[in-house]
Chain A
Amino acid sequence: EAGVTQFPSHSVIEKGQTVTLRCDPISGHDNLYWYRRVMGKEIKFLLHFVKESKQDESGMPNNRFLAERTGGTYSTLKVQPAELEDSGVYFCASSSTGYGYTFGSGTRLTVV
């Protein structure tokens, strides 16, 4: 069984540019989560999809962040325009049960 796949693994962009992160969950997992770890701090929840619907987006920092999950399969997280404080590692996780989570390797985003 393939795991949770994220790409790119690294992205370096300039302030003001747009970046789109992608997550492919484990096939059949209805629950998909995005988390973020800013330098040295705790990993923070961003949002949760159940299939294609946003179940909880209480962790999204502001309206520069847009997450989608078309067709309930893969998900994208777009940051537009990127700011310096958006730098960090973005993790995606999927779950079939809602309590067993498999995480991807993360995307390290650096905004310069």
Chain B
Amino acid sequence: GEDVEQSLFLSVREGDSSVINCTYTDSSSTYLYWYKQEPGAGLQLLTYIFSNMDMKQDQRLTVLLNKKDKHLSLRIADTQTGDSAIYFCAERKLRAGNTGKLIFGQGTTLQVKP
């Protein structure tokens, strides 16, 4: 199938770390992405990881990829109230002709409490 699965909701306290998890299905996926959607706004690319990498770090964001288990996680260190948003995991699905379409999960709503 083409399912990308995410938990729907996560609540953390300001200053704590947040970990958002995602599982995907296509072992041939070359790129995996995390997008952020703030209320009333569009999709903002946070980071992406190439499938030959295990980890990628960018300031407060750490992405971990376990290709064997098809598991992707996004860790946000020192979570702030401005991090409250919906976070979407996506895999880039290759087809003949390299259409490169994205398969998204349902999104995880992150609530950060002061």
The number of inter-chain residue pairs (CB within 8 angstroms) is 62
Instruction: Say what secondary structure dominates the interface of chain A.
Output: strand
Q: How many residues of A contact B (CB 8 A)?
A: 27
A40 at the interface (CB under 8 A from B): yes
B97 pairs with A55, CB closer than 8 A: yes
Q: Which of A40, A43, A48, A59 contacts B88 (CB 8 A)?
A: A43
> In the complex, A106 Cα to B95 Cα: how many Å?
26
Contacts known (A42-B4, A42-B107, A99-B31); A105 close to B101, Cβ less than 8 A:
no
> In the complex, A104 Cα to B31 Cα: how many Å?
20
> In the complex, A98 Cα to B82 Cα: how many Å?
30
The 8 A CB mask of B73-111 against A (1 = contact, 0 = none) is: 000000000000000101010010111111111110000
B100 pairs with A98, CB closer than 8 A: yes
Contacts known (A91-B42, A101-B45); A33 close to B105, Cβ less than 8 A:
no
Contacts known (A99-B92, A104-B42, A105-B41); A48 close to B101, Cβ less than 8 A:
yes
The 8 A CB mask of A3-38 against B (1 = contact, 0 = none) is: 010100000000000000000000000010101000
Given contacts A45-B101, A93-B43, 19 further A-B contacts (CB under 8 A): A4-B42, A31-B100, A41-B106, A43-B88, A43-B107, A44-B104, A45-B102, A45-B103, A55-B99, A91-B43, A95-B100, A98-B98, A99-B30, A99-B48, A100-B45, A100-B48, A102-B45, A103-B35, A106-B42
The 7 closest A-B pairs by CB, nearest first: A105-B42, A103-B43, A43-B104, A56-B99, A98-B100, A45-B101, A42-B106
